[in-house]
């Protein structure tokens, strides 16, 4: 534009020209390619360092407010949008979801796990040898499958495997068939099967191997001091024979004392050996067995030997490669912190069972265990003074390395964070 013989640039055109230059500059590119959604916890500020002339603006300051030009203060649970602006011109937008303020205690305690199945689980067939030398399984012939859960017999809810044995014997002595109600995945089926006398011990059987519980050792990941909600293990408990997740029908966690460690080596994962010194004293109930661990409520909130106050939690998108620590027990009941390195992080918009690859770097832990061993599943991962995740699996080929899961995904399995319904990925590594 030209006035009084002098040329003056159009301010809008200059602004657009400057903006185009900034977008193409690697230094500024991240501010124009923000993640589609940012998850934050109320009460935990977040800063997005911006270059000069840029500032942030919130669509709802009651949910998330802006202080300074580039710091966000999550105030209350809800959703809002945050714009990145160059002067008054919006150049990028970020959707923000704010969860209620949440601080939990990290765990690290070794625990004994006793999980009851929902119904009696069929884990195999037992052939009964008849007088003519044939091997017969009445249950298999009646199309009862491995992995089915027997829920009722003759209309009566089944308590455990022992009760099933008594009912089979009674029906066999009476010479009558049994009506068996099965749960097969989400389906409910009813079959009729007649017990057969097993000459091996002169008792009646259906020709099945069954199980009504599973037991093992793991690590407590977190607990909330207000609700007493806890999470542990970081992965699902599966049946040893069927390799399928166990449908939880209740259960308990117990105090555990580590008595010995079978050191891990390449090609041979190690394991923690532990005893339950107070066999009858539960410290919590098991309510859920999920792909992200077991969950329930503690009978009482224990004091933590390393932390006087609960810690904030890290949203999944703020966990990053770099130094971190895990809390775990490898001797007695003493929780210790060990150095690890988060080697890589998988950016996930929805819950998945493999969130990061970790490597043990602490020489004390490497000397004692070789790295990650079975029984350490659930050991909390701390980064930047926040609870970031949990150890879940060890690499069979390298016991110093394994997988971890984001703590956000575990928390979403509880009432502490709204649950997100997704189909988690399967991990090929062996559970730790």
Catalytic amino acids? 235, 362, 377
Contact by Cβ (8 Å): 180, 192: yes
Give the integer Cα–Cα distance in Å for 75 and 86.
25
Residue 38 CB-density burial (10 A; 0-12 exposed, 13-18 middle, 19+ buried): buried
Nearest to 112 by CA among 335, 334, 264, 283: 283
Helix (H) or strand (E) holding 79: strand 78-86
Helix (H) or strand (E) holding 191: strand 187-193
Give the integer Cα–Cα distance in Å for 321 and 384.
11
Pair of tokens at residue 11? 């301010």
Contact by Cβ (8 Å): 358, 381: yes
Give the integer Cα–Cα distance in Å for 414 and 268.
34
CA dihedral angle for residue 335, residue 336, residue 339, residue 345, rounded to 10 degrees: 10
Contact by Cβ (8 Å): 188, 180: no
Give the integer Cα–Cα distance in Å for 162 and 271.
31
Give the integer Cα–Cα distance in Å for 387 and 385.
7
Contact by Cβ (8 Å): 231, 413: yes
Contact by Cβ (8 Å): 405, 292: yes
Residue 243 CB-density burial (10 A; 0-12 exposed, 13-18 middle, 19+ buried): exposed
Residue 156 CB-density burial (10 A; 0-12 exposed, 13-18 middle, 19+ buried): exposed
């Amino acid at each position: 534009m030209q006035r009084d013989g002098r040329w003056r640039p159009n301010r809008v055109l200059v602004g657009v020209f400057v903006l185009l230059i900034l977008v193409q500059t690697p230094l500024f590119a991240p501010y124009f390619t923000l993640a589609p959604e940012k998850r934050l916890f109320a009460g935990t500020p977040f800063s997005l360092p911006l270059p000069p002339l840029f500032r942030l603006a919130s669509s709802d300051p009651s949910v998330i407010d802006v202080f300074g030009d580039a710091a966000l203060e999550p105030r209350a649970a809800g959703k809002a949008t945050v714009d990145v602006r160059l002067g008054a011109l919006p150049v990028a937008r970020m959707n923000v979801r704010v969860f209620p303020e949440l601080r939990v205690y990290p765990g690290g305690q070794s625990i004994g796990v006793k999980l009851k199945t929902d119904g009696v689980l069929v884990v195999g067939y037992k052939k009964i040898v008849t007088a003519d030398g044939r091997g017969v399984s009445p249950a298999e012939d009646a199309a009862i499958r491995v992995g089915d859960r027997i829920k009722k017999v003759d209309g009566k809810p089944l308590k455990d495997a022992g009760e099933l044995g008594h009912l089979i014997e009674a029906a066999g002595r009476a010479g009558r068939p049994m009506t068996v109600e099965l749960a097969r995945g989400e389906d409910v089926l009813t079959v009729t099967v007649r017990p057969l006398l097993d000459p091996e011990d002169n008792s009646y059987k259906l020709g099945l191997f069954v199980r009504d519980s599973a037991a093992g050792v793991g690590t407590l990941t977190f607990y909330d001091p207000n609700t007493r909600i806890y999470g542990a293990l970081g992965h699902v408990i599966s049946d040893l024979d069927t390799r399928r997740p166990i449908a939880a029908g209740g259960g308990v966690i117990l105090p555990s004392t580590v008595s010995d460690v079978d050191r891990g080596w390449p090609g041979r994962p190690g394991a923690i050996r532990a005893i339950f010194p107070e066999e009858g004293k539960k410290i919590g109930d098991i309510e859920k067995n999920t792909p992200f661990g077991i969950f329930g409520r503690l009978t009482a909130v224990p004091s933590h030997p390393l932390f006087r106050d609960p810690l904030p939690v890290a949203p999944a998108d703020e966990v990053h490669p770099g130094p971190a620590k895990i809390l775990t027990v490898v001797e007695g009941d003493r929780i210790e912190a060990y150095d690890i390195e988060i080697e890589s992080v998988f950016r996930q918009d929805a819950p998945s069972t493999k969130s990061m690859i970790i490597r043990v770097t602490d020489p004390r832990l490497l000397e004692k265990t070789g790295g990650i061993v079975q029984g350490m599943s659930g050991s909390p991962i701390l980064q930047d003074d926040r609870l970031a995740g949990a150890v879940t699996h060890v690499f069979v080929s390298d016991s110093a390395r394994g997988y971890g899961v984001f703590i956000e995904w575990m928390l979403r399995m509880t009432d502490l964070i709204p649950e997100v319904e997704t189909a988690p990925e399967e991990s090929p590594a062996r559970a730790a």
